Structure 1
Amino acid sequence: MQRYFQWLVCSALLFASLLLGAAEHYQSHRVNDNQLILTTDRGQVSLRFQHDAVVEVWYQPEGRQQLPSLILADKTPAVALTLQQQPEQLILQSARLRVEIQKSPLALRFYQGEQLLTEDIAGLLQPDTTKIAFKFRLTPEEMLFGGGQRVLGMDRRGHKLPLYNKAHYGYSTESNQMYFSLAGVMSSKNYMLLFDNGASGELDLGHSQADTLAFQAEGGRSAYIVVAGQNTPELIANYTAASGQAPLPARWTLGNYASRFGYRTEAEARAVVQKFRELNLPLDAIVIDLYWFGKDIQGHMGNLAWDTQAFPEPEHMLADFAADGIKTILVTEPFVLTSSKRWQQAVDAGAIALGPDGKPNTFDFYFGNTGLIDVFKPEASSWFWGIYRDLLAQGVGGIWGDLGEPEVHPADTQHQLPGMGSVTANEVHNAYGQRWAELVYQGYRQDFPEQRPFIMMRAGNLGSQRYGMVPWTGDVERSWGGLKPQVELALQMGLFGFGYIHSDLGGFAGGEQFDAELYIRWLQYGVFQPVYRPHAQEHIAPEPVFHSDEVIDTLRPWLNLRYQLLPYNYTLAYQHSQTGIPLMRPLFFLDEQNSQLRQETNSYLWGEAFLVAPVTEPGVTEWPVNVPTGVWFDFFNGERIIGGEVVKRPVTLETIPVLVKAGSFIPMTAPIQRTADYSSQALTLHYYADTSVSSAKGQMFEDDGVTPDSLAKGQYELLSFNAEHSNEKLLFSLQRQGGDYQGKPAQRELTLVVHNQRGKPDKIYVDGQFIPLVAQPQRFAKGQQLAWYDKAAKKVYLKLTWQAELSQIVIK
C-alpha cells in the first residue's frame, strides 16, 4: 500500500509537470548491449549499466548539444540485464539494481532489492534554452553527504550548494563554496546520485523544498548516475569500479615534503634540504612554488621555464636532489600572461582560449594581464604537455597544478572541444581541472611509462581520481579555526574516491606570529593524513627545521612514526587503488545505523586499525573522542578502552588521542630518512589481542614502490595475517603470496608483538617448533628464534625468521 501511495504521489507531480509542458512520453525502445534506449516525444533517453550496481540515465533531447561523460571511465563491461515489458511500464534489472520506468509521463524509480532508493520525479527539465535541471524525491530520514569541499558539517541536507569551483582564500570554520565542488551526493539509504555535468550550476539538497533534491546547470551533459550498495564501502567500490580507480602512487608520495610559498633561489632550496639532513629529520620531496620561473609574484606566470639567474643549474640541482632521494615538484598554472616570455609562442600554437571575437581572450587578474590555456583543445594540450615533457626529462619528480578552478574564468571565454566546436566557459568550468589532470596523466603514460605520475591539483570533478589526482584543501587560514574543518573536508572528499585529499599542514594564509602549539597540533594530525606536506606563506616558516629545538624535539617522533608506518600506509594506498576505500574513513564505517557517528567531524579512522582525534583547540589537557562500540587501546600507553560513548582522553603537547581497534594488525619498520631506504626485511608486526575478538585478519602490500602496473605485472607481494582465539590459545597464520620485484626480501626478520597479553605464556610454537621464553630481550642473532614477556606492558615479543610461504604460530 505504501509503495502504491508513493507511486500515486509521483504520478501527481508528473501530471503537474505535464501541465507546465515539462513532461516526456515514451514511444518505443530497443536494447543495445548494456543499455536500454528509449525513444520519446522529445528525443532519446538511454539507460546504460556500467556495473551491475551502477546505471547512467542520459537524456538526449533533440537540438541540445551534449558534452562527453566526465564521470564514467572509458570502458563498457558486460552486465547481464533482464527487461520486462508491461503495458504501463518497463522494468530493467541487473543482479544488483532495478529501474522501473513509467511510460507516460516518463518517470524512473530505482530499487535495490525491494528498497526504493530514489526516484526521478520530473525527468529532464529545461527552464530555458541553456539550462537543464532534474528533481528527485527525498525521504524524511535520509542524510546526504557530498557536494565536494564545503565546511557545513557532514550531513549537507538542507543546504543549497553552488556548483562552481572557486577559490576561498583564508577560509576557516565555515564555507559554502570552495575550490573543488562535486555535483553528487551519497545517501544514508545506501545510494549515490551523481550528475555527469561539469557546468556551472547548483545543487539544492532539500533547501527550497524539504523533500526534494534539485540539480540545475548552465548546459553541459544532461545525464545522471545512480549507484547502489549494501553499505558505504561497497558504494564507494561500485562507484570507483565504474568511474575508474585511483592508480597506486609511488611510495615516496607518503613521505615528508618541504614546501612553502616559496623558495626563491636554487641556493635556498638546497639549503632547506641540507637543513633536514643535518637535523636527521626525514624528507622525500621539495615543492618549488612560482619563483622557479620568475623573481616576482606578478608578471612572470606562463614563463614555465627556469629563471636561470635564481636557479643557475637546475638540472644539477634536480640530479643532486634525486641522488639524495628527494623528488622535486614544480608548480604550474594554466594562465599565460601577455608579459610572459611564452605569450606569443602560446598564441601561435593556438593554446590560448578564445573570446567571442575569435581572438585570444585576455583579461586582468592578480598576477597580471593574461590568457587561459584551453586544455580541452588538442593543440593546446599538446603544447602544454610539451613543456611538462621537457621538465620531467630534466629530472622533475612531480607536477603541481595550481589555480585550476580556473581561479578566473570569464564567462565569455570559448573552449574548443574535439568534434564539437565552441562551448562557453560556464558549460565546462568544473571540468577544467579534470581535463588538465588528464592531459598530464596521459602524457606521463605515453612518454614516461616507467614512472608513476604525481599530479597535485586544486580542483577537479567527479571521476578525476582515475588520473592520479592528489588534491588539497586550498589556502586555509593559519589559525585554530582553519585546523578545525580539515577532517570534515577530507572525509567528504574521500567518500567520492579522492583518497589523497590533504591540507597545507600548519595552515597557509595569514598569521602574524608563529603559534607553536597550533603548528605542532596540525603536524601531529598530518601523520594520519594521506600526504604530509607543511606549506604556508613564507613570513612564518612552514618547515619544522626552522623552528626551536623544543618544536623539533616534539615533532621528531611524529615524523619518525610517519615513516615507521610506511608498510601500513602503503597498504592503505594499495587498498584504495583496488576498491576506492579512502585512507581517512568516517567513524560510521563501523556502525552505519549510528546517526551520531555519521555527524562526527573530528574523530576518524585511519585505515581499519586506527582511530584518530586531532586536537583543534589551544591549551587543553583532555580531548573528547567519539569511540565506537567495541574494545580499543591507547596507541601510546596501551590502556584498554571500552567504546560506545564519547570518552575524554588526557593529552599533553606531545600527544593527541590515537586509539587502535582490538583485533588489529599493524606492520611497522624502523625509522628511515627517505623512502628510498625503505625495506621490510626487518619487520615488526603488532597485534592487539582481546578476548572480545575471536578472529581477526590483516594484510600488508609491498612492491618496489615505483613500477607502474606492478599488480598487473605480478611484481608485488601480499602478506596476510590471521589470528584466532581458541581454548585459551592464540593461533596466528602468516602467509606470503605474489611474485618477484626489486628489493623483495627473500626472508624477513619478523618481530611479532602481541599487545594485551594478560599473563606470561606457557608455551610458544613456530611451525611446530617449541620456542623457549627468555627472561629479557637479548641480542638477536640472524636465524635465531626467541620470545620474552614484558609483564609491565602486557606484551609478548616473538622474534623469528619468516621465510616460508605459510607460517603458523601458537601462543598458549
Structure 2
Amino acid sequence: MKKYGRLKEHKKDGNIIYISFEKGELEIQIITEQIIRVFSRLSEERPVSKAIEGDKVRKVAFAIGEDEKSVQIHLPKLTVQVFDEAKVDIYDKDGKPVCIDYRGERVSSQSLDQKMLELLEREGHSTQENADGHVIQVLKKLDGDECFYGLGDKTGFLNKRGYEYMNWNTDDPDPHVDSFRALYKSIPFFITLKKDTVFGLFFDNTFRTYFDMGKESDDYYWFGGDQGNLDYYFIGGDSMKDVVKGYAYLTGTAPLPQMWMLGYHQSRWGYQCEADIRKIAESMREHHLPCDVIHMDIDYMEKYKVFTVDETRFPDMKKLTEDLSDIGIRLVTIMDPGVKVEKGYEVYDTGVEKGYFALDEDGQIYENAVWPGDAVYPDFGKDEVRDWWGENHRMLMESGISGIWNDMNEPASFKGELPENVVFYDGGRKSTHAEMHNVYGHNMARATYQGLKKLTGKRPFVITRACYSGSQKYAIAWTGDNHSIWAHLQMAIPQLCNLGLSGIPYVGTDIGGFGSDVTKELMCRWIEVGCFSPFCRNHSAMGTRRQEPWTFDQEVLDIYRKYLKLRYELLPYLYDLCHVEEQEGLPLMRPLVMNYEKDEETKNLNGQFMVGDHIMVAPVTEQGMRQKLIYFPEGEWYDYWTGEKIQGGQYKIRHAELDECPIFVKAGGIIPKYPPRLSTSEEKDKVLILEVYPGKAEYVHYQDNGEDFHYQEGEYNLYRFSLDGNELSMELIHQGYEKMYETLVIRYQGEERVVKFEHDYMITLE
C-alpha cells in the first residue's frame, strides 16, 4: 500500500486541485456539485476511462482553504478535506461527516502461517491472498449502521454488508452460492446507505479489484487493487435515487430498446436445426403463448465458427426469419469471441493478416480453445477491430436476424485462463490481459452495438454475459449460467435489483434455470418472477429437462400463459419505465429500499421488489409454500387481484396458490396497459387501457414507433394523466409521433368505461 507522507502544498488548475505530499500527489477533481473524483497516478499509464465517455465536468463555484493540518475544498453541498497520507474526508453542507477515511490499525487478513495454508489447500480448501499487500487500498470508516448495495451481479443478498468480493469476470458453471467472490460482470460501484445520509463510490479501475464491505473489521470497509491507479468517484445526493442518477450521469443511461425486447424470449441450448426452430414457433402459437423472440445457441453455426451458418441444418436462414416474422416472432443468434484457427476461414485469415488478434509475450498470436477447438481472441480494444467485428454481422442482419447474443466474453477458455501477460491493446496503447480482461466483454458489446446500428439503422439488440461499468450503453445482460434450484430463484430478486442499482437496467435470469432439472412448481414460481424482470427469457442447457411451457402438464401451461399474458398487457407501463431510465438512469426493477430508504424494514428485504414507483411484487420463492409474509411501506396499497385496500407500515400474510403471485399497486397508481396480444408486432396504437387506483397522482405516458432512433429527433408523444379525487384529466404535452390512440378504456374500482381518445379532457370517475 502506497505511503504518501506529510502534506506539502496545493495548487488549483481549473476544476482540479493538485495536492502534493512528501511521496506522491493527489488530484481532487470537481465534476459536479455532488460528484468528486479522487485520483493518484500510481502506474506509468493514465488510461482513458472505459466507463465514462465525454466531458462530464460542470461549472461549479468552490473555494479552497488551508491550515497546518489539511486542505479544504468548499462546494455548495459538500466539503472535501485532505490530510497527511492522502486521507480524504467528505462532509455535507452542514459539516456532518459523510464519507471518512479510516485512520486506525488495520486488522491482519493473514492469520495463518504458510504450513497451515498448504494443509488447507491439500484437503481442497481455497485460500485467499493477503489483502494487506494490495498496491491500492482505500479504507473507509464504518459508523455501524451502513448498508451496502450495488456491485453488479454478485451472489447473495441485497445488502452486501459483511461480505467481500473480487472483480474479475469469471465463467463458473457451478451453482452460484453466497461464497462466490466473482461472477461474470465487474461493476466497481456501490451505494452506502446510513440512517441520515447516502452516497456512492465508483472505483474506476479495470484490473483485478477487491471490495471488503466490513467483513475484515467492524471498524472499516475497504476497496483496492493490485495494479493501475487510485481513481474513484464520490457520488452524493439527497436520496438513493439521486445517487443512482449521479452514477448514470457519469457512466451513461441505457438507450431506449426496441419494444419487442420487452416481449417474451424462448431459448435452449439444443435447438439444432431449422425444424426445431419452426416447431418451437408453431408450438408457441398453437398454445396461445405470447412470444416475440426465439434464441439460437451455438448449434446454428458451421462447426461453431462465428459468422457462419450450417447450411445443412439451416439451408435458408432468410426464408426462416421471414416465415417466423409472419407470425410475429424474431430470431436472435449467439456470438462468441473465440475465432477458430483454420486457414481458409475468412474471419480467421483476415484477422491474422491485419493483426486483429491478441498476442503472447513473444509476439505470436495467442491461442486457447473454446467451442470450435483451437481459437484466437479478437483484440476489441482496437478501434479498427471493433469496426471489423461489427461489419462481420452483415450476413446475419441481411438474413433477417434481429439481434446478437454475446456469450463466453469474459473471455472464457477451455485450456486454462488466459495469462495476464497476453498482449491486448487499449486504443493505440499496448496493454495486457490483466488490464483489459474486465472490459473485454464491454468492448465486444460496444463493437456489436455500433455494427448493428450502422447496418440496420434500428436500436440494436445486444445481450452480453460479461460487462463493466458503462456497458449499459451498448447491451442488455443476463446473470449467466444459473441452475434450476430454489436458491437461485430466491437469489434472482436481489441480484437483478443490485444490477439495476449498478446502472444495468435491462437484466434477467434464465427463467427455470440453465443447469440442472426444473420441477413443475419451480417453473411456475419462476415465471411469476420472470414476468416482471426487464429481460424475460426462458433458457436451459442441453441435457437438462426441457423447459418449454407445453412440456409440462396443463396446470403449468395455464399458469405460464397467465403471466405471459400479464407481461404483454403491461408493456406500455414497462416501456414508459424504459423512457424514464434513458432520461434519468432509474431502473425498471427496483429494491423497495430505493423508494423507501428511510424505512428500516426495507433495507434487508430480499423477497419483494418494485416495478417503477407504482407496482410492488412479492413472489413466492420457497418450495411448497402457499403463503407469503409481505411488508407494505407507507401509504395505501391495493391488491392487484382482489382490489383489497391495505394500509402501509405493516406486515401481512397473503395466501398465494401456485397460480398466484402477490402484486400490489400504490394508491393513486395509474397503470397503462394494452389489450391481450401474442406479439408486439400486433397493432399497439389503437387502444390504451388505464387502470386507475384511488388517490392523488400524476403519470406521464410515452409513445413512439418502438424500433428506430427517430424519437431522438422529437418523433414521440407524451401524455400527462392527472388524478385528483375522482377526476381524471389528460393533457398531450408533446406531439411528434403521427399515430395516436383511438380508444381509451378506463378501469376504476371494478367499473370499465370506454371513451374516444382525445387530446385534452377531464373525466369524472364514478
- 1:321 — aligned with what? 324
- 1:810 — aligned with what? 764
Q: 1:394 aligns with which of 362, 377, 399?
A: 399
Q: Distance in 1 between matches of 2:250 and 2:227?
A: 24
Q: Distance in 2 between matches of 1:470 and 1:738?
A: 28
Q: Distance in 2 between matches of 1:129 and 1:611?
A: 45
Unaligned runs of 5+ in 1: 1-16, 295-299, 756-794
- 1:159 — aligned with what? 163
- 2:527 — aligned with what? 523
1:505 matched to 2:459? no
1:54 matched to 2:35? yes
Q: Distance in 2 between matches of 1:127 and 1:67?
A: 25
Query: CA offset at residue 349 of structure 1?
Result: 2.9
Q: Distance in 1 between matches of 2:480 and 2:729?
A: 45
Q: 2:672 aligns with which of 667, 672, 683?
A: 667
Contact 1:301 1:335 (8 Å CA) reproduced: no
Query: CA offset at residue 346 of structure 1?
Result: 2.8
Q: Distance in 1 between matches of 2:174 and 2:393?
A: 30
- 2:718 — aligned with what? 718
Contact 1:73 1:243 (8 Å CA) reproduced: yes
After TM superposition, the structure 1 stretch with the greater mean CA deviation from structure 2, 170-179 or 695-704, is 170-179
Q: 2:53 aligns with which of 73, 78, 89?
A: 73
Superimposed CA distance per residue, residues 430-487 of structure 1 (whole angstroms, 9 cap, x where no aligned partner): 1211121122223334443x210111011111222122x2111111111222211100
Q: 1:454 aligns with which of 458, 461, 485?
A: 461
Q: 1:389 to 1:56 in 2, by over 3 A?
A: farther
Q: Distance in 2 between matches of 1:741 and 1:221?
A: 48
Query: CA offset at residue 348 of structure 1?
Result: 2.3
Superimposed CA distance per residue, residues 170-225 of structure 1 (whole angstroms, 9 cap, x where no aligned partner): 42553422222322220003100110011112112222232222222232343001
Contact 1:150 1:175 (8 Å CA) reproduced: no
Q: Aligned to 2:278, what secondary structure does the other structure show?
A: helix
Contact 1:723 1:733 (8 Å CA) reproduced: yes
Corresponding letter in the other structure for 1:141: D
Q: 1:683 to 1:364 in 2, by over 3 A?
A: closer
Q: Distance in 2 between matches of 1:641 and 1:424?
A: 57
After TM superposition, the structure 1 stretch with the greater mean CA deviation from structure 2, 88-97 or 529-538, is 88-97
Report matched runs for 1:18-33 at 5 Å.
Answer: 21-23=3-5, 25-32=7-14
Report matched runs for 1:32-181 at 5 Å.
Answer: 32=14, 34-42=15-23, 44-61=25-42, 64-88=44-68, 89-102=70-83, 104-114=84-94, 115-120=96-101, 131-176=135-180, 177-181=182-186
Q: 1:172 to 1:640 in 2, by over 3 A?
A: farther
Q: Aligned to 1:305, what secondary structure does the other structure show?
A: coil
Q: Distance in 2 between matches of 1:21 and 1:667?
A: 58
Q: 1:226 to 1:347 in 2, by over 3 A?
A: same
Q: Distance in 2 between matches of 1:25 and 1:390?
A: 60
1:489 matched to 2:495? yes
Q: Distance in 2 between matches of 1:643 and 1:319?
A: 51
1:603 matched to 2:612? no
Contact 1:50 1:242 (8 Å CA) reproduced: no
Q: Distance in 2 between matches of 1:162 and 1:225?
A: 19
- 1:801 — aligned with what? 756
Q: 1:703 to 1:520 in 2, by over 3 A?
A: same
Q: Distance in 2 between matches of 1:257 and 1:39?
A: 56
Q: Aligned to 1:485, what secondary structure does the other structure show?
A: helix
Q: TM-score scaled to structure 2, two decimals?
A: 0.90
Q: Aligned to 1:429, what secondary structure does the other structure show?
A: helix
Contact 2:62 2:76 (8 Å CA) reproduced: no
Q: Aligned to 2:468, what secondary structure does the other structure show?
A: coil
Q: 1:128 to 1:642 in 2, by over 3 A?
A: closer
Contact 2:404 2:462 (8 Å CA) reproduced: yes
- 2:118 — aligned with what? none
Contact 1:51 1:242 (8 Å CA) reproduced: no
Contact 1:236 1:497 (8 Å CA) reproduced: yes
Contact 1:627 1:644 (8 Å CA) reproduced: yes
1:272 matched to 2:266? no
Corresponding letter in the other structure for 1:528: F
Q: Distance in 1 between matches of 2:297 and 2:372?
A: 14
Q: Aligned to 2:393, what secondary structure does the other structure show?
A: helix
Superimposed CA distance per residue, residues 19-51 of structure 1 (whole angstroms, 9 cap, x where no aligned partner): x8443634331222x433445555553333333
Q: 1:254 aligns with which of 253, 262, 267?
A: 262
Q: 1:415 to 1:276 in 2, by over 3 A?
A: same
After TM superposition, the structure 1 stretch with the greater mean CA deviation from structure 2, 696-705 or 109-118, is 109-118
Q: How many residues align?
A: 729
Corresponding letter in the other structure for 1:239: Y
CA RMSD in angstroms, aligned pairs only = 2.5
Q: Distance in 2 between matches of 1:643 and 1:505?
A: 31
Q: Distance in 2 between matches of 1:354 and 1:128?
A: 33
Query: CA offset at residue 419 of structure 1?
Result: 3.2
1:414 matched to 2:423? yes
Percent pairwise identity: 27
Report matched runs for 1:534-549 at 5 Å.
Answer: 534-538=538-542, 539-549=544-554
Q: Aligned to 1:677, what secondary structure does the other structure show?
A: coil
After TM superposition, the structure 1 stretch with the greater mean CA deviation from structure 2, 559-568 or 628-637, is 628-637
Q: Distance in 2 between matches of 1:363 and 1:445?
A: 31
Q: Distance in 1 between matches of 2:476 and 2:721?
A: 30
Q: Distance in 2 between matches of 1:393 and 1:77?
A: 41
Q: 1:140 to 1:310 in 2, by over 3 A?
A: same
Q: Distance in 1 between matches of 2:351 and 2:37?
A: 38
Q: 1:397 to 1:23 in 2, by over 3 A?
A: farther
Corresponding letter in the other structure for 1:416: Y
Q: Aligned to 2:526, what secondary structure does the other structure show?
A: helix
Q: Distance in 1 between matches of 2:444 and 2:30?
A: 28
Corresponding letter in the other structure for 1:205: M
Q: 1:21 to 1:252 in 2, by over 3 A?
A: closer
Corresponding letter in the other structure for 2:100: E
Query: CA offset at residue 553 of structure 1?
Result: 2.0
Corresponding letter in the other structure for 1:797: E
Q: 1:164 to 1:663 in 2, by over 3 A?
A: same
Q: Distance in 2 between matches of 1:117 and 1:620?
A: 43
Contact 2:21 2:85 (8 Å CA) reproduced: no
Q: Aligned to 2:405, what secondary structure does the other structure show?
A: strand
Query: CA offset at residue 557 of structure 1?
Result: 2.1
Q: Distance in 1 between matches of 2:437 and 2:233?
A: 20
Q: Aligned to 2:324, what secondary structure does the other structure show?
A: helix
Query: CA offset at residue 494 of structure 1?
Result: 0.7
Report matched runs for 1:140-539 at 5 Å.
Answer: 140-176=144-180, 177-188=182-193, 189-294=197-302, 300-338=303-341, 341=345, 342-364=347-369, 368-408=373-413, 409-421=418-430, 423-448=431-456, 450-467=457-474, 469-511=475-517, 515-538=519-542, 539=544
After TM superposition, the structure 1 stretch with the greater mean CA deviation from structure 2, 424-433 or 41-50, is 41-50
Q: Distance in 2 between matches of 1:563 and 1:481?
A: 28
Q: Aligned to 1:616, what secondary structure does the other structure show?
A: coil
Contact 2:307 2:395 (8 Å CA) reproduced: no
Contact 2:268 2:539 (8 Å CA) reproduced: yes
Q: Aligned to 1:426, what secondary structure does the other structure show?
A: helix
Q: Aligned to 1:148, what secondary structure does the other structure show?
A: coil
Query: CA offset at residue 653 of structure 1?
Result: 1.7
Q: 1:797 to 1:542 in 2, by over 3 A?
A: same
After TM superposition, the structure 1 stretch with the greater mean CA deviation from structure 2, 625-634 or 70-79, is 70-79
Superimposed CA distance per residue, residues 240-263 of structure 1 (whole angstroms, 9 cap, x where no aligned partner): 112211101110000011211132
Query: CA offset at residue 702 of structure 1?
Result: 1.1
Q: 1:155 to 1:127 in 2, by over 3 A?
A: closer
Larger radius of gyration: 1
